[in-house]
């Protein structure tokens, strides 16, 4: 059995970062960043999620297969979003003469 | 050591079994039931369409008939048919494992399937649904006053059975292969089921949430898909087809796997271009996720999106073409026998080619505008789903029947059945291509006079087809008792499943096999 | 009886020959490949039938060239079809500049057509031959789909928005019209006829028994709904002047620019605050629920006629 | 017969008949859970897609309605969930190191935090109920475009509702794990159930990490 035991200190470190990011994202919501508001909020969310996946869920220490499964899952979500938006974002282009 | 059928006795030993082979038989019984339910609705549809006016039944009844026909056939027959019956039975045996990775989940999947089936049957007997199998909003979510929620929940529940099956296959194929069974020694049947499982796992959750939203829209008056409440009905179509297009490959990929096995076994040589066929399965599964918008060319979707979806649809046809050419090339210099399973394999290749090529018509933007929502579509998908998948399914059932039951079926009757089905099928569905280009819309209870001749032909064909089905049904049951004893390898085929007794013991193998050969090593047989 | 057996639909629009040509090409292609595959199967099955019970096939080697060939050739073929099909599709999607616009509202289970001159008809559509016709469509309930097989065109008709379809009829006569999107119980009864007439006959037909043009009904509505209290024929009103609005580019309060097409007019009436015109207060009340889709079409037609 | 293969060494009581050894069993379970989580990603994915579409269609309304969500409780709940993820990770650590007492303690902590989250969620729901912001007949909205506001609230309730449902399932799982751990069912060699329940719990946390900014944090200025 090969199993990587992650030291507890890492868990506490990640936890601290997550809490800090939560504080930042809430604070930033009160600033007027224009179109960058959602971008910042989502970037922070992605970073937080990645940390949880890599460390709390041990993916950093897992097999290539596990990594592939994780990436694959989000990639497929990307397909769903991107191709659907290819419709929504180009609908306005159509002009009826 | 006792075989799996006689290992234990009694109803309880079946209903609580963890043996993948027994669960496969439970599934076999259930999907057969749903096939006949769906077939009975098809008979009603064809009877009504024998004459132009809606005279046999009211339009509202007719609408329920084709809806329940589609729902039963797609969700409760064709999607589970090959994976949950043949795949379930064979995958562990083919890779040299004692069972699937999660036997309890496997049993649970059957119960979930039955629960979903009961919901849907309940919806059918208490009044039915009339939305079409596609459940387009806002008709389904705000206008229809039939049992949409019950039927939708049935499909929702059955979806989980499908997810569990796919999950189980993926883990099993990754983690349970016998020593020496490398990826490129896997039978192509296993490859195609692997690809199918990917679709099941990645697509089904989306239809689940979509159906849930429709049900919520009806029950709580949310408005996500209802333009009167700010929603967009086209969003529903995107979500629906994100699953339902890949789902057509759930339906056909396993049949392709079966055909690969049949072609190899009955020409006694390896499938030509093994690696190409294996990767073609994966390619179909992956690209198949990128084309769903081809069902929406006239839906008011953006023309640019339509172009993207069209070109991607053409790309997905290429790996299918590769497979067809490879099967044909396999026959070259083979030692070809005409046993019934091989006849079905021939039927598959021919009819799938026609169905697939007419799929290209539909992927062509300029043509689809005219033929979408006409009988051309109906003909296209029956050619693929029926001419393709069901031929593959029946071929597989005949091929492995001796292994599953230990008995042979009567060969003469089987050939007669195959011929009847083939002829009946073509008579039923070929005229529909013509009807479609003439412009007869689908889902019509009544149609203009000038379409009658072709419709009568179609209805006549359906009668032959219905009779054709009863033939295998009868002799399969008959053979359980009176069929000749098969022996472990009646076809002289290679593959781990033919090294076990027929029927095999509960744990499949006395000793975990150690694999040293590639799949279809017929040429090694000769030397030995 | 065989004389009643039609095998190919009549074509009566400019687009029909293009679709048919593509279709026949595809039929040829499909025939070629099906015959090829079926022929090979039959030939191999006979030529290499099993002659002894323990006979074994001869394994093939070196298929790479073949594999590449039969991957690349189909790829080239399908890309060719794609381009051709897309070209036809674009021709269908883009109406020419100068079209005769006819309005239709689909509802369970009938088609209601309205001509600019004021003619209204149900499940029947009269159009002149040789003139591009654009149908501006919307639905009052579920999704329908207007389909005229002889013209080889169809398009979904959605509630809550406008879609269009255009054709130019090339032959006078009477052609079937279907609803092609399943819309409930009497979906199969939502059918009718298109009458293609000579232009002068069409004019005569338009003139017969009409109470007032679509625009004049719209004008009446414009007064009844008190639109004219805010939208004055000059720039003094509380709302923008609507003259010359149609087809112009409007600057929105958000800084975006939109072309004032029919969809924009419809939206401005039903959900005025969704896209505010620059320089105006959000004063305009919504008319959602107060006007039917047909009323909106009349208003739109009226606004289109406002020219200076 | 079942252990024909593994007969050369004694089979662990937790080893199922069709696996060769505990390592294979553990890898199968963990892969199975990951694949399951992928299905969950796509399940929620449908909702995220709907959200994305309507947010691009109706940006103004979304900003307006979002202000009616309680940012204080939203942030608190985020912190609660993150903390529960920490205790969950520590529980897995305890299982790996065979520390039964800490295992039980951290499982209980996770479970409790989960309940706290659900409690706060219930509180927020009841507020929305009193403010007539629950879509349906009782929905009230004074601003423009009531139907668009209702759409946002529909998304809010479906997304957080399904998330809460997952939390409830997670709490159930944790209870079972606690009992098993208490009875000494786990050891450094065998603790797959704790591990895969942990994966599930973290995943539910991740869903919330996205729901929080999307629903609560739209342009608060
Ligand atoms: C098992 C089911 C199945 C399968 C496998 C397919 C396969 C394909 N389908 Fe089909 N399809 C359905 C089931 C299926 N379909 C159903 C049920 C519907 C209707 C749903 C509804 O509305 O109710 C539908 C509808 C449908 C549409 C929408 C039509 C419309 O509603 O307007 C389209 C459009 O692109 C399409 C295209 C294709 C294509 C390109 C393939 C391709 O994958 C086919 C590939 C195969 C080949 C190409 C044949 C083999 C190749 C050769 C012999 C070599 C020659 C090849 C070349 C030159 C490329 N299908
Ligand atoms: C696996 C999929 C599958 C299969 C196998 C079939 C099989 C058949 N289908 Fe199919 N069909 C669909 C999937 C399938 N269908 C789908 C998805 C739709 C679209 C639905 C929609 O629009 O929403 C459709 C729609 C559809 C239509 C179009 C309806 C319309 O648009 O108005 C028609 C019309 O001819 C038809 C006919 C048939 C026939 C004659 C068979 C035959 O092959 C059936 C043969 C089988 C039998 C005949 C059963 C034998 C049993 C008996 C003889 C016993 C009879 C028992 C009693 C009467 C008690 N089907
Ligand atoms: Cu209107 Cu079908
Ligand atoms: Cu498709």
CATH (domain of C15): 2.60.40.420
Contact residues on chain A for B235, CB-CB shorter than 8 A: 84
pLDDT mean over B424-435: 96
Q: Flag whether pLDDT at B5 surpasses 50.
A: yes
Q: Which of B304, B306, B308, B312 to mutate: most A Cβ within 10 Å?
A: B304
DSSP codes, chain C: -GGG---S----BSHHHHHHHHHHHHHHHHHHHHHHHHHHHHHHHHHTB--STT--PPPP---HHHHHHHHHHHHHHHHHHHHHHHHHHHHHHS--SS-EEEEEEEETTEEEEEETTS-EEESEEEEETTSEEEEEEEESSS-EEEEEGGGTEEEEE-BTS-EEEEEEB-S-EEEEEEE-S--STTGGG--EEEEEE-HHHHHHHHHTT-SS-HHHHHHHHHHHTTGGGTS-SSTTSSS---TT-TTSEEEBTTS-EEE--HHHHHHHHHSGGGSPBTT--S-PPP-BTTB-HHHHHHHHHHHHH---
Note whether A94 contacts C: Cβ–Cβ < 8 A: yes
Closest partner CB to A56 (pick from D34, D89, D97):
D89
Rounded CA Rg of chain A: 19
What pLDDT score does C218 carry?
87
Interface touch C63/B60, C-beta < 8 Å: no
What pLDDT score does B204 carry?
96
Q: Flag whether pLDDT at A33 surpasses 60.
A: yes
Tokens of B325: 């050419």
Note whether B85 contacts D: Cβ–Cβ < 8 A: no
Q: Compute the Cα dihedral for B80, B85, B88, B90 and give only its sign.
A: negative
CB of C146 closer than 8 Å to CB of C111: yes
CB atoms within 10 A of CB D10: 9
Partner residues linked to C194 by β-bridges? C125, C175
C-alpha–C-alpha distance, residues C183 and C191, integer Å: 12
Give residue-wise pLDDT tens across range C32-75.
Answer: 999 999 999 999 999 999 988 888 888 877 778 888 888 999 99
Instruction: Please tell me which residue, D14 or C179, carries the higher pLDDT value.
Output: C179
Q: How does DSSP classify residue B18? A: -
pLDDT mean over B202-212: 95
Closest partner CB to B303 (pick from A80, A88, A94):
A94
C-alpha–C-alpha distance, residues B175 and B102, integer Å: 11
- Name the band, by pLDDT with cuts 50, 70 and 90, for residue B178: very high
What pLDDT score does B37 carry?
95
Classified as helix, coil or strand, C132 is: strand
Please tell me if the CB atom of residue C107 comes closer than 6 angstroms to any atom of ligand 3.
Answer: no
Atom of ligand 2 nearest to the CA of B133: 23
Note whether C140 contacts A: Cβ–Cβ < 8 A: no
List all residues of chain A from 13 to 52 with a beta carbon under 8 Å from chain B.
Answer: none
Tokens of B241: 């087809």
Interface touch B308/A80, C-beta < 8 Å: no
pLDDT mean over C200-220: 83
C-alpha–C-alpha distance, residues B28 and D207, integer Å: 38
CA of B244 to the centre of ligand 4 (A): 7
What pLDDT score does B528 carry?
44
Both C222 and C298 in one domain: the answer is yes
C-alpha–C-alpha distance, residues C28 and B358, integer Å: 11
Note whether D146 contacts C: Cβ–Cβ < 8 A: no
- Name the band, by pLDDT with cuts 50, 70 and 90, for residue C279: confident
Atom of ligand 3 nearest to the CA of C106: 1
Closest partner CB to B230 (pick from D24, D47, D151):
D151
What pLDDT score does C7 carry?
87
pLDDT mean over B63-78: 96
Contact residues on chain D for A50, CB-CB shorter than 8 A: none
pLDDT mean over C75-83: 96
Query: For a pLDDT cut of 70, what percent of chain D falls above it?
Result: 95
Q: Which residue of C has its CA nearest to B270?
A: C59
CB of B428 closer than 8 Å to CB of B458: yes
| CA distance readout (Å), A31 to A24, A26, A40, D157, D218 | 11, 10, 11, 27, 11
C-alpha–C-alpha distance, residues C81 and B408, integer Å: 48
Q: How many domains does chain C have?
A: 2
Q: Flag whether pLDDT at A85 surpasses 60.
A: yes
What pLDDT score does D8 carry?
46
Q: Flag whether pLDDT at B123 surpasses 50.
A: yes
pLDDT mean over C119-131: 93
pLDDT mean over B385-399: 96
Q: How does DSSP classify residue C285? A: P
Interface touch B209/D43, C-beta < 8 Å: yes
Q: Flag whether pLDDT at C212 surpasses 80.
A: no
C-alpha–C-alpha distance, residues C266 and B417, integer Å: 60
Single residue among C191, C211, C231 that ends a domain in this structure: C211
What pLDDT score does D141 carry?
85
Q: Distance from B125 to chain C by nearest Cα, in Å?
A: 19
In a domain, residue C297? The reply is yes
pLDDT mean over C127-134: 95
Q: Which of C182, C191, C267, C271 to mutate: most B Cβ within 10 Å?
A: C182
Contact residues on chain D for A30, CB-CB shorter than 8 A: 220-221
Domain borders along chain B are 19-527
Q: In what order do the strands lie in the sheet with C173-179?
A: C124-128, C192-197, C173-179, C144-148, C153-157
Q: Which of C187, C107, C11, C183 is nearest to B370 (CA)?
A: C11
- Name the band, by pLDDT with cuts 50, 70 and 90, for residue A93: low
Please tell me if the CB atom of residue B359 comes closer than 6 angstroms to any atom of ligand 1.
Answer: yes
Helix B20-48 vs helix B88-95: angle between axes, to the nearest 10 degrees? 140
SS3 helix, strand, coil % of chain C, rounded to 5?
40, 25, 35
Interface touch A22/D79, C-beta < 8 Å: yes
Q: Flag whether pLDDT at C30 surpasses 70.
A: yes
In a domain, residue C136? The reply is yes
Partner residues linked to D161 by β-bridges? none
**Range with the lowest mean pLDDT among B443-452, C24-33, C286-295?**
C286-295
pLDDT mean over B478-484: 94
Q: Flag whether pLDDT at B492 surpasses 80.
A: yes
Q: Which ligand is nearest to the CA of C180?
A: 3
Tally of helices (H runs) and strands (E runs) in chain C: 6, 12
Classified as helix, coil or strand, C195 is: strand
Q: Which of B21, B214, B224, B507 to mutate: most D Cβ within 10 Å?
A: B224
Q: Which of C212, C208, C239, C213 is nearest to C225 (CA)?
A: C239
Q: Flag whether pLDDT at B524 surpasses 80.
A: no
Atom of ligand 2 nearest to the CA of B45: 34
Contact residues on chain A for B309, CB-CB shorter than 8 A: 83
Query: For a pLDDT cut of 70, what percent of chain C falls above it?
Result: 97
In a domain, residue C88? The reply is no
What pLDDT score does D4 carry?
43
Residue range(s) defining the domain that contains residue C230? 214-305
What pLDDT score does B2 carry?
82
User: For residue B306, what are the contacts with CB-CB under 8 A and spacing of at least 6?
Assistant: B293, B296, B297, B365, C89
DSSP codes, B299-325: TT--HHHHHHHHHHHHHHHHHHHHHHH
C-alpha–C-alpha distance, residues C163 and C150, integer Å: 20
CB of C242 closer than 8 Å to CB of C284: no
| CATH class of residue range B19-527 | mainly alpha
Interface touch D158/B201, C-beta < 8 Å: no
Q: Flag whether pLDDT at C217 surpasses 80.
A: yes
Which span out of A33-47, B65-79, B216-230, C4-18 was modeled with the highest average pLDDT? B65-79
- Name the band, by pLDDT with cuts 50, 70 and 90, for residue B126: very high
What pLDDT score does A96 carry?
37
Q: Flag whether pLDDT at D5 surpasses 50.
A: no
CA of C164 to the centre of ligand 4 (A): 24
Q: Distance from D137 to chain C by nearest Cα, in Å?
A: 17
What pLDDT score does A3 carry?
62
Both C141 and C167 in one domain: the answer is yes
What pLDDT score does C209 carry?
67
Contact residues on chain B for C189, CB-CB shorter than 8 A: 59, 446
Q: Which of C75, A25, B250 is nearest to D209 (CA)?
A: A25
Partner residues linked to C164 by β-bridges? C136
- Name the band, by pLDDT with cuts 50, 70 and 90, for residue C4: low
Classified as helix, coil or strand, A16 is: helix
CB atoms within 10 A of CB B411: 14
Instruction: Report the neighbours of D using a cutoff of 3 or more CB pairs below 8 angstroms.
Output: A, B, C
C-alpha–C-alpha distance, residues B496 and B447, integer Å: 54
C-alpha–C-alpha distance, residues D104 and D92, integer Å: 10
3.30.1330.50, 3.20.20.20, 1.20.120.80, 1.10.4000.10: CATH of D21-220: 1.20.120.80
Contact residues on chain B for D57, CB-CB shorter than 8 A: 232
C-alpha–C-alpha distance, residues D188 and D170, integer Å: 23
Residue C196: phi and psi, rounded to 5, are: -95, 125
Question: Residue B164: enclosing H or E segment and its boundaries?
Answer: helix B148-175
Instruction: Report the neighbours of B using a cutoff of 3 or more CB pairs below 8 angstroms.
Output: A, C, D
Across chain D, what does the average pLDDT equal? 90
Single residue among C152, C177, C211 that ends a domain in this structure: C211
Note whether B302 contacts D: Cβ–Cβ < 8 A: no
C-alpha–C-alpha distance, residues C207 and B392, integer Å: 63
Residue D89: phi and psi, rounded to 5, are: -60, -40
Please tell me if the CB atom of residue B344 comes closer than 6 angstroms to any atom of ligand 2.
Answer: no
Is ipTM > 0.90 here? Answer: yes
CATH (domain of C233): 1.10.760.10
User: For residue B357, what are the contacts with CB-CB under 8 A and spacing of at least 6?
Assistant: C29, C30, C33, C34
In a domain, residue C164? The reply is yes
Domain borders along chain A are 8-89
Q: Flag whether pLDDT at B502 surpasses 80.
A: yes
CB atoms within 10 A of CB C243: 17
Place of tokens 């937080």: A48
Q: Distance from B198 to chain C by nearest Cα, in Å?
A: 24
Tokens of D156: 């809010």
Single residue among C163, C182, C211 that ends a domain in this structure: C211
What pLDDT score does B14 carry?
93
What pLDDT score does B242 carry?
96
* Protein residue with least CA distance to atom 31, ligand 2: B443
CB of D104 closer than 8 Å to CB of D21: no
C-alpha–C-alpha distance, residues D212 and D196, integer Å: 25
Interface touch D43/B206, C-beta < 8 Å: yes
**Range with the lowest mean pLDDT among A23-37, C51-65, C164-178?**
C51-65
Q: How far is CA B356 from the centre of its chain?
A: 15
Q: Among the residues of C178-292, which ranges form H helices? A: 199-207, 214-224, 262-270
Domain borders along chain D are 21-220
Interface touch A87/B301, C-beta < 8 Å: yes
Q: Flag whether pLDDT at B18 surpasses 80.
A: yes
Q: Flag whether pLDDT at C308 surpasses 70.
A: no
pLDDT mean over B130-157: 93
Please tell me if the CB atom of residue C179 comes closer than 6 angstroms to any atom of ligand 3.
Answer: yes
CB of B434 closer than 8 Å to CB of B47: no
Please tell me if the CB atom of residue B385 comes closer than 6 angstroms to any atom of ligand 2.
Answer: yes
Q: Which residue of C has its CA nearest to A92?
A: C258
Across chain C, what does the average pLDDT equal? 89
CA of B393 to the centre of ligand 2 (A): 17
**Range with the lowest mean pLDDT among B326-340, B512-526, D157-171?**
B512-526
Note whether A96 contacts C: Cβ–Cβ < 8 A: yes
In a domain, residue C163? The reply is yes
Instruction: Report the neighbours of C using a cutoff of 3 or more CB pairs below 8 angstroms.
Output: A, B, D
Query: For a pLDDT cut of 90, what percent of chain B falls above it?
Result: 91
Q: Flag whether pLDDT at B277 surpasses 90.
A: yes
What pLDDT score does B1 carry?
65
C-alpha–C-alpha distance, residues B255 and B248, integer Å: 11
pLDDT mean over B109-114: 97
Q: Which of B203, B193, B159 is nearest to B396 (CA)?
A: B193
Tokens of D161: 């509702």
Q: How does DSSP classify residue A97? A: -
CB atoms within 10 A of CB C196: 25
Q: Which ligand is nearest to the CA of C123?
A: 3
List all residues of chain D from 70 to 109 with a beta carbon under 8 Å from chain A.
Answer: 71, 75, 78-79, 82-83, 85-86, 88-90, 93, 96-97
Classified as helix, coil or strand, D28 is: helix
Helix/strand/coil (H/E/C) assignment for every residue in B328-340: HHHHCCCCECCCH
Contact residues on chain A for C164, CB-CB shorter than 8 A: 96
Q: Flag whether pLDDT at C263 surpasses 90.
A: no
Which residue numbers of D have CB closer than 8 Å to B's CBs?
Answer: 1-2, 4-5, 16-20, 24, 27-28, 31-32, 35-36, 38-47, 49-50, 53-54, 57-58, 135-137, 145, 147-148, 150-151, 154-155, 158
């Amino acid at each position: 059995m090969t199993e990587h035991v992650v030291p507890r200190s890492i868990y506490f470190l990640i936890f601290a970062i997550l809490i800090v990011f939560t504080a930042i994202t809430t604070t930033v919501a009160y600033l007027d960043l224009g179109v960058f508001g959602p971008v910042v909020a989502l970037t922070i969310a992605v970073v937080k999620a990645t940390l949880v996946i890599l460390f709390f869920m041990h993916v950093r220490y897992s097999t290539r297969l596990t990594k592939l499964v994780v990436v694959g899952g989000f990639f497929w979500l990307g397909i769903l979003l991107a191709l659907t938006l290819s419709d929504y974002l180009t609908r306005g282009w159509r002009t009826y003469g | 050591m006792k075989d799996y059928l006689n290992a234990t006795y009694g109803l309880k030993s079946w209903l609580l079994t963890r043996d993948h082979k027994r669960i496969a038989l439970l599934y076999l019984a259930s999907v057969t039931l749903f096939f006949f339910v769906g077939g009975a609705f098809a008979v009603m549809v064809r009877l009504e369409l024998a004459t132009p006016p809606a005279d046999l039944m009211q339009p509202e009844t007719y609408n329920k008939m084709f809806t329940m026909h589609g729902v039963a056939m797609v969700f409760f027959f064709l999607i589970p048919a090959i994976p949950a019956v043949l795949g379930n039975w064979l995958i562990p045996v083919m890779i040299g494992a004692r069972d699937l990775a999660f036997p309890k989940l496997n049993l649970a999947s059957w119960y979930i399937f039955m629960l979903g089936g009961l919901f849907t049957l309940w919806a059918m007997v208490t009044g039915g649904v009339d939305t079409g199998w596609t459940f387009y909003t806002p008709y389904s979510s705000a206008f229809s006053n039939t049992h949409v929620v019950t039927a939708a929940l049935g499909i929702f529940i059955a979806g989980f059975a499908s997810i569990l099956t796919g999950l189980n296959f993926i883990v099993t194929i990754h983690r349970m292969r016998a020593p020496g069974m490398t990826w490129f020694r896997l039978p192509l049947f296993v490859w195609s089921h692997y690809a199918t499982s990917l679709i099941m796992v990645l697509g089904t959750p989306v239809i689940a949430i979509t159906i849930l939203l429709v049900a919520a829209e009806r029950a709580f008056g949310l408005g996500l898909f209802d333009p009167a409440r700010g929603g967009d009905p086209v969003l529903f179509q995107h979500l629906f087809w994100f699953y339902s297009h890949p789902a057509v490959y759930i339906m056909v990929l396993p049949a392709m796997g079966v055909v690969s096995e049949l072609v190899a076994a009955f020409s006694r040589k390896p499938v030509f271009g093994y690696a190409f066929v294996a990767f073609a399965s994966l390619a179909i599964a992956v690209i198949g996720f990128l084309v769903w918008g081809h069902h929406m060319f006239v839906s008011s979707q953006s023309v640019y999106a339509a172009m993207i979806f069209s070109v991607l649809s053409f790309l997905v046809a290429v790996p299918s073409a590769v497979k067809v050419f490879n099967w044909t090339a396999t026959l070259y210099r083979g030692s070809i026998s005409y046993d019934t399973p091989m006849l079905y394999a021939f039927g598959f290749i021919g009819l799938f080619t026609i169905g697939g090529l007419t799929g290209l018509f539909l992927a062509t933007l300029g043509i689809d505008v005219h033929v979408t929502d006409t009988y051309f579509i109906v003909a296209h998908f029956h050619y693929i789903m029926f001419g393709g998948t069901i031929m593959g399914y029946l071929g597989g059932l005949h091929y492995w029947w001796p292994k599953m039951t230990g008995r042979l079926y009567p060969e003469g009757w089987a050939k007669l059945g195959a011929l009847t089905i083939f002829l009946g099928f073509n008579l039923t569905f070929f005229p529909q291509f013509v009807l479609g280009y003439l412009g007869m819309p689908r889902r019509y209870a009544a149609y203009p006079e000038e379409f009658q001749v072709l419709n009568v032909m179609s209805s006549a064909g359906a009668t032959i087809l219905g009779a054709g089905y009863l033939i295998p049904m009868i002799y399969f049951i008959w053979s359980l008792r009176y069929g000749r004893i098969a022996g472990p390898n009646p076809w002289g085929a290679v593959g781990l499943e033919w090294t076990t007794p027929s029927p095999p013991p509960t744990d499949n193998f006395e000793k975990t096999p150690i694999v040293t050969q590639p799949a279809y090593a017929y040429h090694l047989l000769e030397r030995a | 009886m065989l004389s009643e057996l039609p095998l190919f639909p009549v074509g009566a629009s400019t687009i029909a020959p293009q679709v048919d040509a593509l279709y026949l090409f595809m039929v040829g292609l499909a025939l070629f490949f099906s015959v090829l595959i079926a022929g090979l199967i039959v030939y191999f099955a006979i030529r290499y039938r099993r002659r002894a019970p323990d006979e074994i096939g001869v394994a093939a080697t070196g298929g790479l060239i073949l594999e590449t060939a039969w991957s690349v050739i189909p790829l080239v073929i399908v890309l060719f079809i794609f381009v051709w099909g897309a070209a036809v599709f674009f021709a269908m999607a883009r109406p020419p500049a100068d079209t005769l616009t006819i309005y239709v509202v689909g509802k369970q289970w009938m088609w209601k057509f309205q001509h600019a001159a004021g003619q209204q008809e149900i499940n029947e559509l009269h159009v002149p031959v040789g003139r591009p016709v654009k149908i501006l469509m919307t639905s009052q309930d579920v999704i329908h789909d207007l389909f005229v097989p002889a013209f080889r065109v169809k398009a979904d008709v959605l509630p809550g928005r406008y879609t269009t379809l255009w054709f130019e009829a090339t032959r006078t006569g009477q052609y079937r019209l279907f609803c092609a999107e399943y819309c409930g119980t009497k979906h199969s009864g939502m059918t009718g006829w298109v009458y293609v007439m000579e232009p002068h006959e069409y004019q005569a037909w338009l003139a017969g028994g009409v109470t007032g043009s679509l625009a004049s009904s719209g004008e009446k509505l414009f007064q009844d709904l008190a639109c004219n209290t805010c939208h004055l024929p000059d720039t003094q009103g509380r709302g923008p002047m609507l003259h010359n609005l149609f087809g112009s580019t409007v600057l929105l309060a958000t800084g975006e620019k939109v072309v004032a097409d029919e969809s924009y007019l419809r939206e401005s009436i039903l959900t005025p605050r969704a896209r505010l015109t620059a320089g105006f207060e959000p004063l305009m009340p919504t008319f959602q629920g107060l006007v039917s889709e047909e009323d909106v079409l009349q208003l739109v037609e009226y606004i289109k006629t406002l020219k200076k | 017969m079942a252990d024909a293969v593994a007969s050369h060494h004694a089979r662990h009581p937790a080893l199922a008949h069709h696996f060769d050894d505990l390592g294979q069993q553990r890898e199968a379970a963990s892969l199975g859970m990951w694949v399951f989580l992928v299905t969950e990603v796509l399940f929620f994915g449908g909702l995220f897609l709907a959200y994305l579409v309507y947010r691009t269609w109706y940006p103004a309304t979304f900003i307006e309605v979002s202000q009616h969500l309680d940012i204080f409780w939203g942030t608190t709940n985020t912190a609660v969930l993150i903390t529960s993820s920490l205790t969950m990770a520590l529980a897995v650590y305890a299982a790996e190191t065979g520390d039964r007492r800490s295992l039980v303690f951290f499982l209980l902590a996770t479970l409790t935090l989960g309940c706290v989250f659900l409690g706060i969620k219930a509180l927020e729901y009841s507020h929305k109920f009193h403010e007539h912001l629950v879509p349906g007949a009782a929905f009230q909205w004074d601003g423009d475009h009531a139907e668009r506001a209702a759409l946002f609230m529909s998304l809010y309730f479906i997304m957080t509702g399904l998330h809460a449902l997952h939390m409830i399932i997670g709490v159930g799982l944790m209870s079972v794990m606690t009992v098993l751990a208490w009875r000494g069912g786990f050891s450094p060699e065998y603790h797959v159930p704790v591990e895969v329940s942990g994966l599930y719990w973290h995943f539910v946390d991740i869903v919330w990490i996205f729901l929080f900014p999307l629903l609560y944090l739209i342009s608060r200025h």
